[in-house]
Amino acid sequence: MAARKKLVRVLTHMSHPVIAIGGALVLGGASVGLAWYLTSASFSGTYATVMDGPITQEVDVSSTVKASQNTDLSFQTVGQVAAIRAAVGQHVSAGESLVVLSNQTQTAAVELAQANVKTQQAKLDALLAGTRPEQLAIDQTALVQAQTSLANAIQSAYINADDAVHAKADPAFTNPRVTGAQLIPLVPDKALVDRVQTERIALEPVLGELAQLGTGSGDLEQNANQTAADLKTVIAFLSDLSAALFKALPNGATSATIIAGYQANVDAARVEVSNALTALTTAETAYHTASGTLTLAKAGATQNDIDAQRAVVAAAQASLASAQAAAAQTYLVAPISGTVSAQNANLGQTVTPGMPLVSIVADGKYQADAQVSEVDVAKMKVGDTVEATFAAYPDATFAATVTTVPPAATLSNGTPSYTVTVTFADNDERIKPGLSANLRIITARKEHALTVPTSAIITSGAQKFVYVKHADSAVKVPVTTGIESADGMTEITNGLVAGDAIEAFGTHALSTVSE
C-alpha cells in the first residue's frame, strides 16, 4: 500500500509541465526519482543545492542556408543569342554583360539617331551664336556711355537737392539742420507748419544718403532707384513749404517782401529738384535701353526661334534615348554583384520575353530562415546572438545574428509558426546556399543567477513553489522564476538563497512534509 502511494506521488509530480528542450534528461531524472520512491523505506529526500552561477536561455532549431539575394534574369525582348559571356560559378560585377542577342538593327538605329542629334544641335548653336562681334562692340560702348550718364545724373541729383534745401529753403527756418528747426514766417495753419518742420528735420539723413549714392559705389540700378525716391521726398517737402509760405502773414519780423523772397527761393528749389529727377529718369531709361539693345544683340535670333529649335533637339534626343533603350534590351546585364548559379542560354537559341536564362547568387552575407513556435518567438528579439553548426563542418561554429522577428505567424496545417531570419556574421567561403544548419539562438544570458533544476519547481495555478529542506521535513516555499536553460535549469529571482537544499524531483505527500 505504501509503495502504491509513493507511485501515485511520483506520477503526480511527473504531470507537472517542463520545458521540452532537455526532455530526455528530465525523463531520466524522473525514472531515478521513481526508483528512489519505490525502494526507500523511509523519507530521506533527494535534494539539489541552489547554485549561484551563469545560465543561458536558448532556442535550438534547424534551418537551411540561403543567399541574402538570389536573382533570376531574363530578356524583355525576342531575339537570338549571339554571345554568352558568363559561365556557372563565375563571379560577375553589377553592370556586367552576361548574354548578348543579335543586335545589328538596333545598333544602326542608335547611330542614325546620334547623327540626327548632332545635326539639330548644330542648328541650335548657330541660332545661339548671336550678332556679329563688331555690332556687339558698338552696343557695348553705348551701354558703358549710358552707365556713365546715369552715374552722373545720380551725382547731380545730390548737388541739386543739397542746393535746393540748404541754400534756398533753409533761410526760411531757424536752426534748420537740427531737431529744433522752426519756420520763421507766421503761418496760421499750425498742422501745416508742424508737418513742414518735421519734414525739414527728416531731410538731413536723406541728403546724407544722396551724398553716399553720388559716390558711385554699389549697384548702379539700385542707386538710381533710391536716388529717385529721395528726390521725391525733397520735392514733397518743398511743396509743403511753398504752401505754408503762401499762407504766411507779414509782421514786424517778416515783411511781405521777405516772405516773397522766401517764396521765390522755394519755387526755384522746386524747379531745380524736379529737373534733377527728370534728368535722372531720362538717364535711367537710356541705360535700360542700351542694356536691352546689347542683350538682344547677344541673343541673335528671337526667343521663339531658339525655343522651336530646342524642341527639335529635344525630340532628336528622345529618339536617340529610345534607340539606345532598344539596343540595351539585347544585353542581359547583372543587376548585382555575385556568382552565376545557373546559365541556361545557348548560342543561336531564340529567346522570348520572361524566359529565365541566368541566375545570380548575390555577394554578401548568407542567411537562414527558422520556423519557431509562438512560445519560443516570444523570447527572441532582433540582435540575439546565434551559434550555427553544420554537419559538413562538425568541428566549427559560425557566428550569426537574429535580423528579423516577424510580427505575425503563418499557418502550416493549422499550426501557427514564426519565420525568424538569422544572418551570418562573416562571408565565410565554407558557407553555401542549401547547407543544413543547426542554430543555437541565445535569447538571454546571465553570468550570476540563482538556479535550480526545472524539475524541482511545482506549478499550482498561477503560483510556483519548491520544497526546501528544513530539519527532517521539507517546507513549501513560493518562488519567482526567470529564464530557463536547455539543460534543465531555471533561474530563481525571488524566494531562495544560494546554498538552500531543495527537493530535486518535486513534492510528495509524506507526513514529514511541512506546509
CATH value at residue 394: 2.40.30.170
Instruction: Output the CA–CA distances (angstroms, integers) from residue 300 to 106, 121, 127, in the order listed.
Output: 39, 16, 7
Domain interval for residue 339: 79-100+331-359
Residues 159 and 285 in one domain: yes
286 inside domain:
yes
Residue type, 437: A
Question: How many domains are there within the chain?
Answer: 4
Q: Is the alpha carbon torsion for 400, 404, 408, 409 positive or negative?
A: negative
Residues 198 and 154 in one domain: yes
Q: Round to whole Å and give the CA distance between 319 and 307.
A: 18
**Interhelix angle for 23-39 vs 2-14, to 10°?**
170
Instruction: List, run by run, the mean pLDDT of 10-residue segments along the chain (515 residues).
Output: 38 37 38 37 65 92 84 92 92 92 94 96 85 85 94 95 95 91 94 94 94 90 95 96 95 92 96 96 95 82 88 96 95 89 92 92 82 89 92 91 90 86 85 89 92 92 91 89 91 92 62 37
Residues 236 and 140 in one domain: yes
314 inside domain:
no
Residues 140 and 276 in one domain: yes
121 inside domain:
no
CB 305 within 8 A of CB 129: no
Residues 434 and 481 in one domain: no
CATH of the domain at 96: 2.40.50.100
Q: Where is the domain boundary, 299, 318, 340?
A: 299
513 inside domain:
no
Instruction: Output the CA–CA distances (angstroms, integers) from residue 29 to 16, 25, 26, 147, 482, in the order listed.
Output: 14, 6, 5, 107, 22
Instruction: Output the CA–CA distances (angstroms, integers) from residue 177 to 96, 107, 159, 198, 203, in the order listed.
Output: 83, 84, 17, 11, 9
Q: Round to whole Å and give the CA distance between 429 and 364.
A: 11
CB 123 within 8 A of CB 316: no
Residues 218 and 187 in one domain: yes
Query: 27, 278, 24, 303: which is closest to 153 by C-alpha?
Result: 278
Q: Round to whole Å and give the CA distance between 41 and 36.
A: 9
508, exposed or middle or buried, with CB in 10 Å at 0-12, 13-18, 19+? buried
309 inside domain:
no
113 inside domain:
no
pLDDT digits (tens, 9 = 90+) for 184-227: 999 999 999 999 999 999 999 999 999 999 888 889 999 999 99
Residues 143 and 210 in one domain: yes
Buried b (16+ CB within 10 A) or exposed e, 236-253: ebbebbbebbeebeeeee
Residue matched to cell numbers 528579439 = 381
Q: Where is the domain boundary, 400, 417, 444?
A: 444
> What is the pTM for the complete model shown?
0.43
Residues 220 and 264 in one domain: yes
Residues 147 and 295 in one domain: yes
Residues 493 and 459 in one domain: yes
Q: Where is the domain boundary, 399, 422, 444?
A: 444
483 inside domain:
yes
Element (H, E) at 439: strand 436-453
Residues 237 and 259 in one domain: yes
- In this prediction, residue 58 carries a pLDDT of 92
CATH of the domain at 482: 2.40.420.20
- In this prediction, residue 428 carries a pLDDT of 80
496 inside domain:
yes
Residues 471 and 435 in one domain: no
